[in-house]
Structure 1
């Protein structure tokens, strides 16, 4: 099967396969990166309240001159805002200077206080109920809702009580964190997966991996293109390469068709050495149900 350029959400909306990620992008750089990406063919931009760059993303969208209707825009509910979803939604819309979101995600199933301590008085299932209420009452403001950083355990707790099945689950995905259990589970439920940190991390060892470089040479692309393309070749999956450098923003949008054998080669990389680029220090990771990569 050829790599996909878009996927259909369970709402019927079309989501471009490759989007510009903005996590860790430095202030003063995000606006330019978004503007450049949109002027050069990107139609999908991902941000989050926790990234503290929604204002710049909105400025970049405006500066690009690309009409809002041509852009798929995602942002996320921050952990300290679980009790105030309606207020948080309005804040994101205002900062992004947009009348609506194409996708709004619960960033983590981890309610927290304003000083980022676990808020044990609030259940994240109640947060999802609030997001459902807003989605159902204001389809003009929120076109789809979803989750982020959800393991199978969290999804199995959510789906039996959900009125709205999440359209997307955004998780870390790369050959050293393939999370195949989550991928297969979401595919079985019609939930689109979005891969963040597809290269692994900044200065990722995956970029020097022998298999990645062999496939890059065979397809006459950069190693990063192979790592991004992996997820464009997996059914029902989108991907968020991140850069603020013009040449890399352009390069990351090049997707190649990979054979089943090539995909399996990539999944066998670092089979005994898994790692995460995103392993938040606020957790008690295992106690919250976030397993190591598998």
Structure 2
């Protein structure tokens, strides 16, 4: 089975799938099978990270899938402990060696680590790695507007994407507005929040019942219509199949507003990009 996934245009002229598959905590032989299943179902954007310790899993699944490399959009991320310029370049190379890939379609700085204050140096390394052909598109993750302003001011290069925590309980309206103003695509990690809480939400359940869809499908469709790229993670084939089957319907303006108006409780994870340090 495969699903047709629309593409979005990045500010560097390249295109990316409108939904991806997250791989945090997916490892080993079981992880390879999960990623292969996702690829078989039609996912083409696969999101990984150096600190997930599963770039090898992603690479092996890609090889076993038999799908042409140019049909895939593989992402990884630079960890905070390697923000120094030379270390960043070596880490990007190591990421490729781990995965057995010649290039990444997208590489992100995982967190800004503002106390260490080397994220501009790391960004320059990504710019240069792109020039060397190691990366096709470059972006960031968990960067606040103040961090993005500095990258743009000091290098003149605007990230193609910023991957942030985004879900109906934390809709990040101001951050998304900044992205739109600067031509940065928003990518949503934890797009379903903590699933149990979403499943219990009365507004979401009402919309899902009226549409004959699952709550997860309604929420992921909300992301897509916001212009964000959700990257749900699931090792269940049933859920993988359900999560990608969101392009045959469209939410109304009223339904979009109902979801966006769900009271924001803030981030679900205690990782404030203004102070959080990831290593």
**TM-score normalized with structure 1 length:** 0.86
What's the CA shift for 1:260? 1.4
The Cα shift of 1:103 comes to 0.4
Contact 2:59–2:101 (CA<8 Å) still a contact in 1? yes
Is residue 2:215 matched to residue 1:223? yes
* Cα separation, partners in 2 of 1:135 and 1:26, compared to 1, 3 Å: closer
1:211 and 2:203 matched: yes
Q: Which residue of 2 is the match for residue 79 of structure 1?
A: 80
User: What is the rounded CA distance, in whole Å, between the counterparts of 1:152 and 1:289 in structure 2?
Assistant: 15
Q: Which residue of 2 aligns with 1:145?
A: 138
Report what 1:114 is aligned to.
Answer: none
Confirm or deny: 8 A CA contact 2:75 2:104 kept in the other structure.
yes
Paired residue for 2:157? 164
CA contact (8 A) 1:39 1:66 kept: no
Quick check: 1:123 aligned with 2:126? no
Residue 168 (structure 2) pairs with residue 175 (structure 1): yes
SS in structure 2 opposite 1:102? strand
Instruction: Tell me the equivalent position of 2:11.
Output: 10
Rounded Cα–Cα distance in structure 2 between residues aligned with 1:199 and 1:26: 21
Aligned pairs for 1:94-113 (under 5 A) are: 94-110=97-113
Deviation, 1:215, is: 1.2
Q: 1:172 and 1:286 mapped to 2: Cα distance?
A: 10
Match of 1:115 in 2: none
Please report the RMSD computed on the Cα atoms of aligned residues, expressed in angstroms: 1.9
Q: Which residue of 2 aligns with 1:33?
A: 34
Q: TM-score, normalised by structure 2?
A: 0.91
Instruction: Give yes or no for the alignment of 1:67 onto 2:68.
Output: yes
Tell me, yes or no, if the aligned pair for 1:154 and 1:289 is still in contact at 8 Å. Answer: no
Q: In the alignment, what sits opposite 2:259?
A: 266
Cα 1:14–1:190 change in 2 (3 A) is same
Residue pair 2:6, 2:18 contacting (<8 A) in 1 also: yes
Q: Match for residue 242 of structure 2? A: 251
* Contact 1:5/1:232 (<8 A) preserved: no
Aligned length: 269
Distance 2:239 2:276 in 1: 35
Deviation at 1:151, TM superposition (A): 1.4
1:286 deviates by 7.2
Deviations 1:38-70 (A, max 9, x none): 111111110101111111111111111111110
1:270-289 alignment, distance < 5 Å: 270-271=263-264, 274-280=265-271, 285=272, 288=275
SS at structure 1 position matched to 2:242: helix
Q: Quote the offset at 1:289 in angstroms.
A: 8.2
Corresponding residue number in structure 1 for 2:129: 134
- Per-residue deviation at 1:279? 2.4
CA deviations on 1:149-197 (whole Å, 9 max, x unpaired) are 0112222222212232100000010011111111000011111110111
Relative to structure 1, is the Cα distance of residues 275 and 250 closer, same or farther in structure 2, using a 3 angstrom cutoff?
same
The answer to whether the 8 Å contact 1:152/1:181 transfers is no
